[in-house]
Structure 1
Amino acid sequence: MYRRLWRAISTLIVFGLLFVTPARAADPEIDKLLRSPVGKDWVTNGGNLTNNRYSTLKQIDTTNVGKLKGAWMTRLKGSGVGGKYSLEASPLVKDGIMYVVTGNDDVFAMNAKTGEMIWEYWSGIEQNISTVCCGWVNRGLAMGDGLIYLGQLDANVVALDMKTGKVAWKTPIEKWQNGYGVTSAPLYYDGMIYSGITGGEFGVRGRLTALDAKTGEIKWRWFTLPAPGEKGSETWPAGTDHSMRGGAAIWNTPAVDPELGLLYFAVGNCGPDYDGSMREGDNLFCTSMVALKAKTGEYAWHFQQVHHDIWDYDAASPVVLFDTVIDGQPRKGIAEAGRTGWVYILDRTNGKPLIGINEKPVPQEPRQKTAATQPIPVGDPVVPQCAEKIPGYDEAGCLYTPFWESPVLIQPSGIGGTNWSPMPYSPDTGYLYVPGTVRTSAFVRNSSQYTTGQRYTGGGQAAPIGSPMTGTFTAIDAKTNKIAWQTKTPYRVGGGGGSTVTAGGLVLRGEPDGNFLALDAKTGQELFRFQTGFGADAPPVVYEVDGEEFIAIAAGGNSMQGSAYGDAIWTFSLKGQLGPLWAPPAPATVAGPTGPIAAGVDAVKIGANNTEYSFAPARTRIKAGTTVSFTNVGDIPHDSTSLVQTDGWSTGVLTKGETKTVKFDKPGTYYYICSPHPWMYGQVIVE
């Protein structure tokens, strides 16, 4: 009797649980679009769940792309205009409405056919966030369940009503004061929102956060840095808590394979970036590609691109999923373009190399606890792997040359290879399209003490004065990892931007000089060029409204590239009537300060004239014995530090409004940088 009663109660309990907690229904329409090839709508950052940025639209193709003109151009009301901001987001388009976010985390909805504004969301974000690494930027949005989602620099994830722009929910996933933020576009999938987090230069503990898409409730977190006893903890020094502040941020939008139930993403650099002396071991999961079970966050596999990274070679660009045939066998691939200049191509079912990747011995520096070997892919790198000797530097090295307290030249630099830029894949050509930066840096290590919310890099790097800064754009054959074709660019193109590929045989991309380009996907031949008037450093998107195909790109500049800032959304079509704008000032192609020399000026302002990452004047001439004042008038902390270590001068970190002075007694030419933002250059000529 009791057994029958217990069986009945158990049945009721199970039935009750099934009845009161059904699986939460996702957005069926968005879910279908995410799983399908990209057509008339562009509903997620990478086009669909693969991140392959491939559009099946082909009304615009290689035969008629030269007839494109501007269909409309809309300005985003001054949002994110200024030297501290970058405009790098891909717009989203659904049912004839376009949604785009700026570097100030402001969101705009527009008529995708006319550019007419429908609604605006102004973030009201604090302008004195001091833990921003590399410029104010937001790389895109997600959509689902009738909401638009974004991450903000203040480490909030926000959901907006698609029809009105009103805030539906806002969830903090950390505190920006502790070094955290969000710059990546989130991913909507199966009723969840997935978001990475920034802060690799501030001693954070990286993580992926999964939130309920309707409510904003945090469902689970997966930490990219293992706690003691967790998988990967054996790759950190035993008996220490170094991994708890080891960086490993996630800068990119994940991808998903619904059939495998796996979610994929790339993980950034370790902290402190340049000092490996106190973190002996491979330091998982820094600089790795990772797969988790999408529903639970349970670990599936990983592949580390750089063991014990001391060069800031973080894996920052989005992973790309693709299907291919190798040796007559169908294979499921995943690829990521690293800052090493290599593309890493794996089997996405298990994380094993799809094409060869061999562990090879590399140069050693025992004080840096360097790894004995590094994984070197079979195939071709997209940028040079060794630096050329430059006067004034004792050593010129290659990709894995270590360093200590004397500057060592290395190429690709930590801002080389591909950095944040998405890489599309075309099933028609079988090519991956990779933007690259070619830049030599002088690397140096120094001691760094951890303080919550303060920079924690353990050294730095900067391009030597007068050294060239150029780029490459490369088609890589995904079956061989070898170059199919490559073009050299006069500017760096790996620090933003990216491209999109279409069934019309086109590769679409912008350049920091303001030009929007269309190339033949098979050959790389340039077919179309249009001047947008602002730095075109965002990935384009392709969509259709009322049977007409459009191409859209955000043009507003990039703070690290130094390209011309603005707030424009350009769209193009075969029926367009708008012509190009005047070309803006071109970004620098040689490292060093620019502009006229100001005679007799003994006061330098940092962050003046709405250009956060600059010195004003950048070049000044004074007499020996003059004391020069450096005042931070920008929104975030800066310093002024000599590029020549034997000079030994630095203002130290200056908060907003703070001033420090330096006296220059000896004649000569003194170059300096802002060490947290080493793309800022200044010059003092002492007579």
Structure 2
Amino acid sequence: MYFDGIVYAHAADGDRGAVVALDATDGSYLWHFFGGPKRGQQFTGVDGVTFDASATWGPVLPDGTDCAEEGGATSWMHGAVDPELGMYYMTFGNARSCTSSQNGSLRPGDNLFSSTMVAVDAATGDYKWHYQSIRHDVWDMDNVHPPTLADIEVGGEERKVVFYGSKSGHQFVLDRTNGQPVLPVVDQAMITDSRQNHATTQPFPETRLLPECLVWEKLDPANIPGDPWRGVPNYNGYQPDAEGDLVFDPDSYVAVDEPFLTYPDGHPSGHREGCMYDPQWDVPILSTTSQNGGGDWSNHSYSHSTNLVYFPYGTNPVAHYNGASANGLRAIGQYQTGGILAYDASTGEVAWTNHLGTDMSHGQGPLTTASDLLFVGQIGGELLAMDATDGDVLWDFQTGSGIASAPVTYEVDGEQYVAVFAAGSTNPYGGSVTQGDSLWAFKLGGTYTTESGSQEGPDTAPLSIRRPVGGAAVEGETVGNTVLLARSSRTADTAAARDSVSTNGMQPTHLRVPVGTTVTFRNPGAETFPGFPNLKPHCATQFFEGEFNVELQPGETYEHTFDRAGEYFFNDCTDPRPTGKIEVYLEPQDQPGALRFTPSRLELGSDTGLFTGVDGTVSAHFELPPGYRYDGGAVLLAPLSATPVEASKVTANKNRAIVRFDAADVDNNVPEGETTLTVRLEVLNPDGVQEQLVSSATVTVVK
């Protein structure tokens, strides 16, 4: 960040964490501010109150370690300057010192300036005020983001505010002159764990943007994917009953924590429901949002026209426990989604929410314009233009690689442009994100076309929307189509391998079998591992469809036949961390000559010269073998994209499927000229068994 001859640099890691101000002319040091204060350091704010911030970290440990100086708090994102007030605003992250970020046993107190916004004199670095959003953070739910400043009207009075909040899904609207809340904040009583030195209350904006607790929905094939904030079964002791309803079991693995927990008076359930700031120790407790959810590091946008603040978010509940890597386990098998919402800056009330379906918390910052348009990118490569007043998508453009940056707008010779950088990313979808290195600029009437002849790039590769299991896929026939429950190794007869609670505690974690295969789930006893058999009962709970849920004693087995293709995640009731997946696949059967496109000359041109003018349909006729019936899943395999184009309509009878695709969906995924297209679909053979058929045909594409 640069302002008035000063460069503000934020240290991204390391002990304590700091913001450093440098002279822009020669790089010389001007001042710094640590996230973890020096022992005995005094601060006096604009309110005249003097305090010792180091006292909020507890005493120096017997070995001389000072937790505030060992790990402190990092300021991950750049700050913001108010030129009129002469203040610089910076946000510091979670406390990470003395054992780990999820263990607060050695750092009693609020741990300033972790999870805190701090305002200083922009020229001298002198402390002005602070606002701590989480006291004694052991969840990595810090609110680190580029602050947004605005002058708004609240209760008929103009106020200078800064909007503060990200991962937690909170938005604190603060007076940027003194750090006091402009909109109501309540101190909410929390469940505490005596081992963690938790704060008994946490600040919550009176009006929430996102749900405060998980939803424990019934396992049901008719409810997929279900509520975005649904909890994965078996976590927190929520286990399926005979009907698939998730019911809390007080005798489950979470009972080990009960002697250390204190519940607020009047707590509605008397157990941890997966709500924000639920306490944890050695066993996993799933809660919302997460260290990779809420707003995380995406910026916000404020519109003077609508008086709305635009807040992109991700949905990715996390299980915290001591030793969890990456500050918490995002539950394997859950859907990682997200969207964008808008709230009234003067009241905090949510005006609209558009749950777009992909994570929006990792750089997908919005841009709003004076004409009430909102531009925002998605990790699937789409740039969207939305109605800023109601969240409707008005226009979308495929760039061909993931977007993890905010659009910008500028003007050249009186003509307005919008530009966005599409370079891919990894969070939270890992290697499934299509990488790239392209800068796209748009103006009204732009005529640029890609090598394919379309203005758009090809569709990006499919995203791993569900949190993946670890380990490589194993073909079922190589392991006797058998899964061993709660073992960290398929072969080791050791004490360390039995009754595993690790995430790779299903062996194998990823089993591939063809449709029609019977898979055996075994809780291995002495007959399998004579030296160190499993000693505890273990489950295979399939979610979220509820296809099966069995509890097996050591030595017992369960067999299940998979008659439809799909991904079947399952976990353990004894401890939900061990999670596996059965990938049930269909072998494509080629049907030479069965496919023809009508007409075979595909007119994909646009009357307007713009990609938005491509309309109509592409029709394909697929002849089915005698006695076969169409069963769904019709897609077009196009040469320029790894993502199949889904059919917009299918009309099927006993010997043919007429498959239609929107021409606009096909346009950017096929080249001009003669090319080969393939249609793939699923059928039921005369015996009612699911199969997959493919056929190809040559067409001529005109654009």
TM category, shorter: 0.5 to 0.7
Tell me, which stretches of 5 or more residues in structure 2 are unaligned?
A: 42-51, 217-230, 238-272, 449-454, 479-486, 494-499, 510-527, 542-568, 571-576, 584-703
Q: 1:399 aligns with which of 263, 273, 276?
A: 276
Partner residue of 2:94? 269
TM-superposition CA deviations, 1:68-108 (whole Å, max 9, x none): xxxxxxxxxxxxxxxxxxxxxxxxxxxxxxxxxxxxxxxxx
- Say if 2:23 and 2:29, in contact at 8 Å, map to a contact too: yes
| CA apart distance, 1:469 | 1.4
Change (3 A) 1:406 1:373: same
Q: Which letter maps to 1:442?
A: A
* In structure 1, C-alpha distance between the alignment counterparts of 2:9 and 2:357, rounded to whole Å: 34
Partner residue of 1:218? 29
Q: Which letter maps to 1:391?
A: P
Change (3 A) 1:500 1:623: closer
- Say if 2:291 and 2:327, in contact at 8 Å, map to a contact too: no
Secondary structure, in 3 states, of the residue corresponding to 1:489? coil
TM-superposition CA deviations, 1:215-262 (whole Å, max 9, x none): 111211111211111131111112341100233111112111112111
Change (3 A) 1:278 1:506: same
- Say yes or no: does 1:468 pair with 2:327: no
Secondary structure, in 3 states, of the residue corresponding to 2:55? helix
- Say if 1:308 and 1:370, in contact at 8 Å, map to a contact too: yes
1:507-518 equivalent positions in 2, closer than 5 A? 507-518=374-385
Secondary structure, in 3 states, of the residue corresponding to 2:69? helix
Partner residue of 1:570? 440
Q: 2:353 aligns with which of 466, 469, 486?
A: 486
- Say if 1:551 and 1:572, in contact at 8 Å, map to a contact too: yes
| CA apart distance, 1:539 | 0.4
* In structure 1, C-alpha distance between the alignment counterparts of 2:314 and 2:211, rounded to whole Å: 7
- Say if 2:18 and 2:33, in contact at 8 Å, map to a contact too: yes
| CA apart distance, 1:496 | 2.1
- Say yes or no: does 1:233 pair with 2:43: no
- Structure with the bigger RCO (C-alpha within 8 Å, sep 6+) is 1
- Say yes or no: does 1:537 pair with 2:404: yes
* In structure 2, C-alpha distance between the alignment counterparts of 1:545 and 1:459, rounded to whole Å: 44
* In structure 2, C-alpha distance between the alignment counterparts of 1:392 and 1:224, rounded to whole Å: 38
Change (3 A) 1:399 1:265: same
Partner residue of 1:34? none
1:581-600 equivalent positions in 2, closer than 5 A? 581-593=457-469, 597-599=473-475
| CA apart distance, 1:598 | 4.1
* In structure 2, C-alpha distance between the alignment counterparts of 1:367 and 1:623, rounded to whole Å: 32
- Say yes or no: does 1:304 pair with 2:132: yes
* In structure 2, C-alpha distance between the alignment counterparts of 1:222 and 1:641, rounded to whole Å: 42
* In structure 1, C-alpha distance between the alignment counterparts of 2:125 and 2:489, rounded to whole Å: 62
Partner residue of 2:629? none
Partner residue of 1:432? 309
- Say if 1:206 and 1:248, in contact at 8 Å, map to a contact too: yes
| CA apart distance, 1:393 | 2.3
**TM-score of the aligned structures, taking structure 2 as reference length:** 0.58
Partner residue of 1:242? 67
Tell me, which stretches of 5 or more residues in structure 1 are unaligned?
A: 1-186, 447-456, 603-620, 628-639, 650-663, 673-678
- Say if 1:340 and 1:417, in contact at 8 Å, map to a contact too: yes
* In structure 1, C-alpha distance between the alignment counterparts of 2:211 and 2:183, rounded to whole Å: 19
- Say yes or no: does 1:642 pair with 2:509: no
1:100-499 equivalent positions in 2, closer than 5 A? 187-199=1-13, 204-230=15-41, 231-240=52-61, 241-271=66-96, 272-386=100-214, 388=216, 389-395=231-237, 396-446=273-323, 460-499=327-366
Secondary structure, in 3 states, of the residue corresponding to 1:296? coil
Q: Which letter maps to 1:415?
A: N
Change (3 A) 1:257 1:394: closer
* In structure 2, C-alpha distance between the alignment counterparts of 1:644 and 1:403, rounded to whole Å: 21
Change (3 A) 1:289 1:622: closer
Paired-residue identity, %: 34
Q: 1:547 aligns with which of 414, 421, 433?
A: 414
TM-superposition CA deviations, 1:475-508 (whole Å, max 9, x none): 0111011101111121111122111111121111
Partner residue of 1:556? 423
Change (3 A) 1:363 1:191: same
- Say if 1:519 and 1:528, in contact at 8 Å, map to a contact too: yes
Q: Which letter maps to 2:491?
A: G
| CA apart distance, 1:522 | 1.0
| CA apart distance, 1:601 | 12
- Say if 1:435 and 1:472, in contact at 8 Å, map to a contact too: yes
* In structure 2, C-alpha distance between the alignment counterparts of 1:596 and 1:288, rounded to whole Å: 41
TM-superposition CA deviations, 1:116-174 (whole Å, max 9, x none): xxxxxxxxxxxxxxxxxxxxxxxxxxxxxxxxxxxxxxxxxxxxxxxxxxxxxxxxxxx
Secondary structure, in 3 states, of the residue corresponding to 1:642? coil
Q: Which letter maps to 1:236?
A: W
Change (3 A) 1:359 1:644: farther
TM-superposition CA deviations, 1:246-301 (whole Å, max 9, x none): 33111112111112111111111111311111110000000011100001000000
Secondary structure, in 3 states, of the residue corresponding to 1:303? strand
| CA apart distance, 1:683 | 7.3
* In structure 2, C-alpha distance between the alignment counterparts of 1:622 and 1:399, rounded to whole Å: 31
**TM-score of the aligned structures, taking structure 1 as reference length:** 0.59
- Say if 2:336 and 2:428, in contact at 8 Å, map to a contact too: no
| CA apart distance, 1:390 | 2.8
Secondary structure, in 3 states, of the residue corresponding to 2:68? helix
- Say if 1:275 and 1:458, in contact at 8 Å, map to a contact too: no
* In structure 2, C-alpha distance between the alignment counterparts of 1:577 and 1:593, rounded to whole Å: 44
Q: Which letter maps to 1:410?
A: S
Secondary structure, in 3 states, of the residue corresponding to 1:367? coil
Q: Which letter maps to 2:18?
A: R
- Say if 1:275 and 1:459, in contact at 8 Å, map to a contact too: no
Q: Which letter maps to 2:58?
A: P
Partner residue of 2:264? none
**Aligned CA-pair RMSD:** 3.3
- Say if 2:384 and 2:393, in contact at 8 Å, map to a contact too: yes
Q: Which letter maps to 1:577?
A: T
* In structure 1, C-alpha distance between the alignment counterparts of 2:59 and 2:488, rounded to whole Å: 53
| CA apart distance, 1:596 | 8.1
Q: Which letter maps to 1:576?
A: G
Quick check: which has more Rg, 1 or 2?
2
- Say if 2:333 and 2:466, in contact at 8 Å, map to a contact too: yes
* In structure 2, C-alpha distance between the alignment counterparts of 1:540 and 1:501, rounded to whole Å: 10
Partner residue of 2:589? none
* In structure 1, C-alpha distance between the alignment counterparts of 2:391 and 2:206, rounded to whole Å: 23
| CA apart distance, 1:336 | 1.8
| CA apart distance, 1:319 | 0.8
Q: Which letter maps to 2:423?
A: G
- Say if 1:408 and 1:444, in contact at 8 Å, map to a contact too: yes
More displaced stretch, 354-363 vs 578-587: 578-587
Secondary structure, in 3 states, of the residue corresponding to 1:368? coil
Change (3 A) 1:322 1:404: same
* In structure 2, C-alpha distance between the alignment counterparts of 1:515 and 1:254, rounded to whole Å: 28
Change (3 A) 1:532 1:384: farther
Moved over 6 A (4+): 644-647, 664-672, 681-685
TM-superposition CA deviations, 1:295-332 (whole Å, max 9, x none): 10000000000000011011221111000111111110
| CA apart distance, 1:209 | 0.3
